[in-house]
């Protein structure tokens, strides 16, 4: 790190997220975060990443080589979920501040191993639960903390969308992605516990695979398939979301292959500390209707957070409606948000600046490994609950004894 507080960063996995982090964080810090090296096994992905970033970080094919040859100030791990443990182990040899993409890993064992691994690490590790940093979520948190809806009682979180971009990647198998409750819902669950200031304790889940999977060969891709009537046909390089300018599809694996073992329609009921309870549900085969909506109910009112809007008004991309009945106060207040054409509800630049401050030692990570672990245990519990047809007590049935202190400390005092 030099006097002007320029920091040199290495990225492990220069794919969709890796290349976005490079460009977005570079801009968000006026070039103070400089991405000088990447570990990327695929030459083609490396070239795409350089074209996106507009610069050519030095390419390595192993973390060890990168560490031997570069003077770095921090590392971001953005490889596929199933390589996080392996990559993290190698990166920890550096002793540098790290940012780890969510989810921590794919399986229960590997997620637990990550938590054990980082216990003795001296440098900070931030998990990229990017939604927490989004202005719309920060505003909701500020409203809740100011007492706008009274004491928090319950929540109802929903997200529905077409699964094209998710079931055509490594995320289509449990071994590759961990399942959607780990891979995707970890964001929503993290936000739920963060906003409500409550930690999960008991979980009941129903998890089903109702559309994807089938008997197609594992190596079939859309580009090689002659079924042109397939509703989940995707084209590599195509934009997966017309409303956001920078989401491209980089995989076209068949979502009806025999290896697909991830649930596509799931629901869970969660009992938390502080008497709070809530539900979370998602479905990944709802086409032409992307919705991500959160309702949080307090003793004095409700917050309705529309991360996505059905009617697409000209003046905002997302909205919070605060509705309550308190004499002397308006019955309804609205707060509107423009995402400036960015994914993740414009949380990326804020997450990037936060990581920059973490690297400089000016602050600690807001989104910790302990919180991510706890949110991911809810996904593990929901799947177990569904398979065993019973309510799961996280402390008694899921969390290993040696990790109970981390679990009990999560989502406290926030």
Ligand X SMILES: NC(=O)c1ccc[n+]([C@@H]2O[C@H](COP(=O)([O-])OP(=O)(O)OC[C@H]3O[C@@H](n4cnc5c(N)ncnc54)[C@H](O)[C@@H]3O)[C@@H](O)[C@H]2O)c1
- In the complex, which residues of this chain contact ligand X (CB under 6 A)? 12-18, 39-42, 45, 78-81, 83, 87, 101-102, 128, 130, 183, 250, 344
CB of 12 to ligand X, least distance (A): 5
Q: Tell me which residue has tokens 């002659």.
A: 226
Q: Packing angle between helix 185-196 and helix 369-388, nearest 10 degrees? A: 110
Does an H or E element contain 127, and which? strand 125-127
The answer to whether 363 touches 246, Cβ cutoff 8 Å, is: no
6 token code pair: 């320029």
Query: How far apart are the C-alpha atoms of 282 and 291, rounded to whole Å?
Result: 10
Of 83 and 277, nearer to ligand X (C-beta) is 83
Query: How far apart are the C-alpha atoms of 75 and 121, rounded to whole Å?
Result: 14
Of 45 and 282, nearer to ligand X (C-beta) is 45
Q: Is the dihedral of CA 361, 373, 352, 87 positive or negative?
A: positive
Of 38 and 148, nearer to ligand X (C-beta) is 38
CB of 14 to ligand X, least distance (A): 6
CB of 40 to ligand X, least distance (A): 6
CB of 143 to ligand X, least distance (A): 23
Those residues whose C-beta lies under 8 Å from the C-beta of residue 90, and which sit 6 or more positions away, are 62, 63, 64, 67
Q: Tell me which residue has tokens 């443990």.
A: 85
CB of 84 to ligand X, least distance (A): 6
Of 14 and 335, nearer to ligand X (C-beta) is 14
Q: Tell me which residue has tokens 């202005």.
A: 135
Cis-peptide, bond into residue 241, ω within 30° of zero: no
The answer to whether 377 touches 399, Cβ cutoff 8 Å, is: yes
Of 19 and 202, nearer to ligand X (C-beta) is 19
Those residues whose C-beta lies under 8 Å from the C-beta of residue 137, and which sit 6 or more positions away, are 131, 191, 194, 195, 305, 345, 347
Report the residue number whose CB is nearest to ligand X.
15
CB of 35 to ligand X, least distance (A): 14
Of 78 and 143, nearer to ligand X (C-beta) is 78
* Parallel/antiparallel/unpaired status of strands 125-127 and 152-160: unpaired
Of 18 and 124, nearer to ligand X (C-beta) is 18
CB of 139 to ligand X, least distance (A): 19
């Amino acid at each position: 790190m030099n006097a002007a507080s320029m920091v040199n960063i290495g990225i492990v996995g220069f794919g969709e997220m890796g290349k976005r982090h490079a460009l977005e964080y570079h801009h968000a810090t006026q070039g103070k975060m400089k991405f000088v090296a990447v570990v990327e096994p695929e030459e083609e992905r490396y070239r795409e990443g350089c074209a996106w970033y507009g610069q050519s970080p030095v390419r390595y094919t192993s973390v060890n080589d990168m560490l031997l040859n570069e003077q770095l100030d921090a590392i971001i791990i953005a490889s596929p979920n199933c390589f996080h443990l392996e990559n993290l182990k190698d990166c920890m040899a550096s002793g540098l501040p790290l940012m780890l993409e969510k989810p921590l890993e794919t399986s229960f064992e590997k997620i637990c191993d990550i938590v054990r691994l980082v216990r003795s690490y001296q440098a900070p590790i931030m998990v990229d639960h990017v939604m927490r940093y989004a202005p719309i979520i920060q505003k909701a948190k500020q409203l809740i903390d100011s007492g706008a809806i009274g004491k928090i009682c319950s929540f109802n979180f929903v997200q529905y969308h077409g699964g094209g971009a998710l079931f055509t990647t490594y995320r289509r198998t449990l071994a590759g992605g961990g399942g959607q409750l780990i891979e995707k819902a970890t964001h929503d669950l993290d936000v739920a516990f963060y906003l409500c200031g409550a930690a999960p304790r008991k979980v009941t889940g129903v998890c089903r695979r109702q559309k994807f999977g089938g008997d197609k060969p594992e190596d079939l891709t859309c580009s090689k398939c002659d079924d042109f009537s397939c509703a989940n046909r995707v084209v590599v390089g195509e934009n997966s979301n017309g409303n956001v300018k920078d989401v491209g599809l980089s995989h076209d694996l068949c979502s009806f292959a025999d290896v697909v073992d991830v649930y596509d329609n799931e629901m869970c009921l969660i009992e938390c500390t502080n008497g709070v309870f809530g539900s979370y549900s998602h479905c990944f085969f709802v086409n032409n209707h992307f919705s991500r909506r959160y309702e949080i109910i307090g003793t004095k009112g409700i917050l309705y957070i529309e991360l996505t809007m059905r009617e697409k008004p000209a003046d905002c991309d997302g909205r919070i409606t605060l509705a309550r009945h308190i004499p002397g106060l308006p019955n309804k207040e609205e707060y509107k948000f423009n995402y400036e054409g960015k994914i993740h509800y414009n949380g990326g630049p804020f997450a990037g600046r936060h990581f920059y401050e973490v690297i400089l030692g000016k602050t600690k990570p807001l989104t910790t490994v302990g919180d991510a672990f706890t949110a991911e245990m809810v996904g593990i519990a929901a799947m177990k609950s569904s398979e065993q047809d019973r309510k799961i007590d996280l402390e008694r049935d899921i969390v290993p004894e040696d990790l109970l202190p981390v679990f009990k400390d999560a989502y406290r005092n926030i």
